[in-house]
Amino acid sequence: MNAGEAQPAGGGTFPETSWTTIERSRSSDPEVAFAALNRLAERYHPALRTFLLRCGCPPQEADDVLQEFLTRRFLQESFLGKADPEAGLFRSFLRTCLRRFLISHHRSEARRTAVHSPGTTETATVAFTEPEAERLLDRLWAEQMIANARARLRAEAEAAGRAELCLALEGLLESEPTPGWVQEVSKGLGMTPNAVWVAAHRFRERLKWFIQDEVRQTVREPADWRAELEHLVAALRA
């Protein structure tokens, strides 16, 4: 059985992918379109912000630039119309747009500074080349998805009344629990070692499932998620 290919069931459902959301954002119903844009903005905001910081923007400026990008470009009706599912990942599309936006922002800032402070002609440049920026955003994106998956795991554990258990297990989910560790946690939480082992196994599998789900949401064709995951793993290893 290849569980990775299986349709999800139970508490986790596969919400619409980014591309589906983009299509919704083109809806003639302004409420549907705005809600979809909001979802997109929320989903990509953290990675884009970190990307700007890594590009050398001070935090205040990064927030301003991102806000401007989201309001002036992202919400622009024609902007998402240019996003072509066949042309590749939505993330790459956003990165290119944001870089261009950042360059044009720096240029206009430079012009403005030159008007107010004659003699200053230096134009701010973006710190990275295009391939470097791509790798950086991929890595940030992978981290973002892991963070999202962890947040979903925490929320579900809280709903199940297992917030404390989640806290105890969370840091150690990336490796097989050792007997000593299981013993220690079981004592601390007043659970049997067997129950702790089962819980650790459940949390780990669930986290993996959420990661997979996060990746699936970003691809247009369901079959593409594996390639995207491998790409992101490579970005993490780089």
Which single residue is written with the structure tokens 């401007």?
Answer: 68
Contact track, another protein, 143-162, x by CB under 8 A? x--x------x--xx-xx-x
**By CB under 8 A, residue 60 contacts another protein:** no
Burial of residue 4, with CB atoms counted within 10 A of its CB: 0-12 exposed, 13-18 middle, 19 or more buried: exposed
**By CB under 8 A, residue 47 contacts another protein:** no
Q: Which of 208, 220, 224, 231 binds another protein (CB under 8 A)?
A: 208
Which 8-state DSSP code applies to residue 4?
G
Q: Give Cα 149 distance to the centre of its chain.
A: 10
**By CB under 8 A, residue 43 contacts another protein:** no
Q: Which of 165, 168, 185, 219 binds another protein (CB under 8 A)?
A: 165
From the list 61, 20, 187, 52, the residue with the least C-alpha distance to 127 is: 52
- Sequence-separated contacts (24+) of 120-127 with Cβ below 8 Å: 126/55, 126/56, 126/99, 126/102, 127/54, 127/55, 127/56
Q: Provide DSSP, 137-174.
A: HHHHHHHHHHHHHHHHHHHHHHHTT-HHHHHHHHTTTT
**By CB under 8 A, residue 231 contacts another protein:** no
Closest distance of CB 136 from another protein, Å = 15
Distance CA 172, CA 181 (A): 10
Which single residue is written with the structure tokens 């206009």?
Answer: 108
From 5-13, 18-26, 65-73, 124-132, span contacting another protein (CB under 8 A): 5-13
Closest distance of CB 208 from another protein, Å = 4
Contact track, another protein, 71-90, x by CB under 8 A? --------------------
The encoded tokens of residue 21 equal 């959301």
Which single residue is written with the structure tokens 């499932």?
Answer: 209
Distance CA 77, CA 42 (A): 18
**By CB under 8 A, residue 140 contacts another protein:** no
From 26-34, 40-48, 106-114, 186-194, span contacting another protein (CB under 8 A): 186-194
From 39-47, 85-93, 100-108, 140-148, span contacting another protein (CB under 8 A): 140-148
Which positions lie near another protein, rule CB under 8 A? Answer: 1-12, 142-143, 146, 153, 156-157, 159-160, 162, 165, 173-175, 191-192, 194-195, 198-199, 201-203, 205-206, 208-209, 211-212, 215, 226, 229-230, 232-233, 236-237
